[in-house]
Amino acid sequence: MFEYFRPTRQAPSLDLISIEQLVQDGIRGLIIDLDNTMTPWNDVEVVPKVAEWFIKVKAAGIQACVVSNNKKRQRVAVVAERIGIPFVFRATKPRRRAFRAGMGLLGTGPKDTAVIGDQLFTDILGGNRLGLYTILVTPINEHEFIGTRVVRQIEKVLVWMMKRFAPAKPFSPKIH
């Protein structure tokens, strides 16, 4: 059970994920969460370092799309258009349908697609259910939807249990 919640890699933030490592690992497409991964929760501002990271991603030949549970199409569209990538809103992650929709937009499959997000119960669980490469990032800030704050407490218990009862096999989880 714990394997569904264990990311392939971890990174302190989206912009610190090594594009070279992604290329080396055969990744051609990125499904990226919006809230607290690309932008602060309920915000449309993309900070310059994140925008620059997306330019480097495109230069490396990797495609990206936003897959967000956010219900506001306009908000998701504004952020995606600023970066120049397609999007899926009302994704209902961790349902597989959302990730399949993202892969459909990218023209990729499970072997060459990575999911990047800040939540174990949506991004990592959903990606792992389809056998995708998953990257957990630290949330941008603590301000978020009340339901997400409740889930974060459950995530803390899950992480404690994973460390105690099912420690990860040794590998360097951080991408630099």
Tell me the CA distances in angstroms from 27 to 11, 35, 81, one per residue in order: 16, 23, 22
Residue 136 contacts residue 156 (beta carbons within 8 Å): no
> CA 92, CA 158: separation in Å to the nearest integer?
21
pTM of the predicted model as reported, rounded to 2 decimal places: 0.83
The region, left, alpha or beta by phi > 0 then psi within -120 to 50, assigned to residue 26 is left
Question: pLDDT (tens digit, 0 to 9) for every residue of the chain, 176 residues total?
Answer: 667 778 899 899 999 999 999 999 999 999 999 999 999 987 898 999 999 999 999 999 999 999 999 999 999 999 999 999 999 999 999 999 999 999 999 999 999 999 999 988 899 999 999 999 999 998 887 766 666 666 666 676 666 666 666 555 443 444 44
Where do the domains of the chain lie, and which CATH numbers do they carry?
2-165 (3.40.50.1000)
